[in-house]
Amino acid sequence: MKKDDLGAIPRHIAIIMDGNGRWAKERGLPRTEGHRRGAESVRAMTEGCRELGVEFLTLYAFSSENWKRPKREVDALMKLLEIYLKQETKVMMKNNIKLQAIGRLHDLPESCQKALHQAIETTANNTALTLILALSYGGREEIIDGVKSIVEAVGKGHIDSAMINTEMFGKHLYTRYYPDPDLLIRTSGEMRLSNFLLWQLSYTEFYITDKLWPDFRKDELREAVQAYGKRHRRFGGV
């Protein structure tokens, strides 16, 4: 993918991958077929971001609230995740992509956790792009887990409560190793965060498109990055 005419390239892109079900419904297909096609968009994004020189890509793959869906759909999504992880490890090795994950990962089925940790371990030394999957992830849950971790450290006398500030709080979140996202993309037109990265998106640029996730591929990514290049970020200054 060419990047000459794009302007500033975001260092970290986060995506709320939404609209798989609607994509399938429009075609009279089962929702799971939408998820299967959505997984192909994931591969396109990883390739596209690597080609553009993006350093971090965080994908919202399964939210804390998505457990409320019918068991049949949840099971299909977990199966798809496991297959994806097993298949994509080779591709990630070839493309020098490092896999990471955030969320309450211990909630995932045993076989998914195993495939996930295997893929994370195998790709640990890759350096081109860090792909972070948000799985069983909720922004509020992450903040609660951060508070618990701080309270524990204070209790043990490792830190003094007077030392708590935004920077140190960030170090108790799942995302402590990554910079905050520069660009947030949400597909399928919904104007909400749905409990995604509540803390980290404070100064992120938003890009919302009506395209459904299975239709969001490299050309659409390019358009989003181009729009980002035209933004004027002020961070509260002038």
* Residues identified as active-site: 18, 66
| Using rule CB under 6 A, residue 21 touches ligand IPE | yes
Choose one: 10-18, 41-49, 155-163, 177-185; the region binding ligand IPE (CB under 6 A).
10-18
Binding string, 36-65, against ligand IPE, x = CB under 6 A?
------------------------xxxx--
Tokens linked to 19: 């609209």
The candidate with the shortest Cα–Cα distance to 112, out of 89, 135, 82, 136, is 82
The whole-angstrom separation of Cα 156 and Cα 237 is 39
Strand 183-186's sheet: what is its strand order? 97-102, 129-137, 56-63, 12-16, 183-186, 205-208
Distance CA 219, CA 225 (A): 10
* 66 is a site residue for ligand IPE (CB under 6 A): yes
Please state the closest distance from residue 7 (CB atom) to ligand IPE, in A: 27
Q: Exactly one of 77, 112, 116, 150 binds ligand IPE (CB under 6 A); which one?
A: 77
User: Smallest gap, in angstroms, from Cβ of residue 191 to ligand IPE?
Assistant: 10
Residue 77 binds what, of ligand IPE, Mg ion, none (CB under 5 to 8 Å, by partner type)?
A: ligand IPE
Dihedral angle over CA of 109, 15, 35, 85, nearest 10: -50
**Which one, 16 or 101, has the nearer CB to ligand IPE?**
16
Burial class of residue 181 (count of CB atoms within 10 Å of its CB; 0-12, 13-18, 19+): buried
Q: Which does 136 bind (CB under 5 to 8 A by kind): Mg ion, ligand IPE, none?
A: none
Indicate if the alpha-carbon torsion angle 12, 102, 17, 121 is positive or negative.
Answer: positive
23 near 195, Cβ under 8 Å?
no
Q: Which does 16 bind (CB under 5 to 8 A by kind): Mg ion, ligand IPE, none?
A: ligand IPE
- Of 183-202, binders to ligand IPE (CB under 6 A) are 188, 190, 192, 194
Which residues lie near ligand IPE (CB under 6 A)?
16-22, 60-63, 66, 77, 188, 190, 192, 194, 213
